[in-house]
Amino acid sequence: MSTSPPTIDWEQISSIFLDMDGTLLDLHFDDHFWQEFLPEQYANRHGLTIEQALEILQPRFKTKEGTLDWYCLDYWSRELGLDIPALKIEVAHLITIHDGVLDFLAFTRRARKRTVLLTNAHPKVLELKMQHTGLSAHFDNIISAHMLGHAKEEPHFWQKLQSLEPFEPRNTLFIDDSLPVLRSAARYGIKHLRGIAKPSSQKPPRTDHEFPMLSGFSEIVPTT
């Protein structure tokens, strides 16, 4: 357990892996979509109340947590009979970048650190978010877990990632808002791990300290 300030020795870092949703981007978009907007659409489609829709949807979502299906828009479109990618577009105005992210990405470029976006997001939503944010230009590589056939929570993800994006775990910094994902990375041997204290702008900061938590990316950008 660590509660100390999340300082980083940049001399030790050669690769930087960054999550997208909740890490670089405000998780409010995803929370609103899955917890409010989608249940509302499902309720309207089937003549249900929002509460009835949630009673149906939440257990179905729960059974897929941590698997690639949970993040697969095609899977949920089939399962729910809704055009999930089209519905995402309807609320795309909620896609926003966390404060400090652009300055941090500018720093990684100046420091010539290989910077890779690692996301569980489906390629369709990844494309949507890159279009709305313009973040793609800041990365040396962008990898969706769907390219590897495994979610980041699964050990096979990291094994397959090595063939696509070779890295040395002891010299890699990985930042993600998901504790299960960080635990998976730790088991693989990634040394420098950081969580996100406030993935959503609409929710209070997290209180767990299993991993060092960033309150903002400005905390790890050198001042000199």
The pLDDT value recorded for residue 193 is 97
- Residue 223 confidence (pLDDT): 80
Q: Where are the domains of the chain?
A: 10-26+96-220, 29-93
- Tell me which architecture the domain covering 10-26+96-220 has in CATH: 3-Layer(aba) Sandwich (3.40)
What does the pLDDT read at residue 6? Answer: 56
| DSSP-assigned letters across all residues of the chain | ---S-----GGG-SEEEE--BTTTB-THHHHHIIIIIHHHHHHHHHT--HHHHHHHHHHHHHHHTTSGGGG-HHHHHHHHTS-HHHHHHHTGGG--BPTTHHHHHHHHHHTT-EEEEEE-S-HHHHHHHHHHH-GGGG-SEEEEHHHHTS-TTSHHHHHHHHHHS---GGGEEEE-S-HHHHHHHHHHT--EEEEES-S-TTSPPP---SS-EES-GGGGS---
Mean pLDDT across 171-189: 98
94: pLDDT strictly greater than 90: yes
Of the pLDDT bands very low, low, confident and very high (cuts 50, 70, 90), residue 1 is very low
Q: What is the mean pLDDT of residues 141-148?
A: 97
Each residue of 61-79: pLDDT tens digit? 999 998 999 999 999 999 9
Mean pLDDT over 53-62 rounds to: 96
